[in-house]
Amino acid sequence: MEKLKQRWGIKNNWDVVAILLVFAINGSFSAWVAKPVTAFLGLSSETLNPWIYYPLRILLIFPIYQTTLPIVGWLFGQFKFFWEFEKKFLSRLGLGFIFKK
């Protein structure tokens, strides 16, 4: 736990627990949200080959996850951590221009 606190620059154990909970909850939440979105787009495993459907669904989950991560983090009082995490992560993907002024 001390290594995580040091790596993430946080001070207490509650913050570590809250951050880990946010990652877990947001992962499940984004997968849950992707189901009605794929249905709205007319995509289903019955109408598409599973080799096409599941990669499309995973590609859809990615932006949902990235969008909802700071929101769920805010609910747990960790918005600052997750906002910085998002900026760092997206800049590593070459999307850092999104946050430039």
pLDDT of residue 72: 96
pLDDT of residue 54: 92
- Other CB atoms within 10 Å distance of the CB of residue 61: 19
Q: Is the dihedral of CA 22, 87, 89, 58 positive or negative?
A: positive
pLDDT averaged over 10-residue windows placed end to end, the chain, 101 residues: 85 91 95 92 89 92 94 95 90 76 58
Output helix, strand, coil percentages for the chain, rounded to the nearest 5: 80, 0, 20
pLDDT of residue 101: 58
Task: Specify the pTM.
Answer: 0.81
pLDDT of residue 30: 95
- Other CB atoms within 10 Å distance of the CB of residue 26: 23
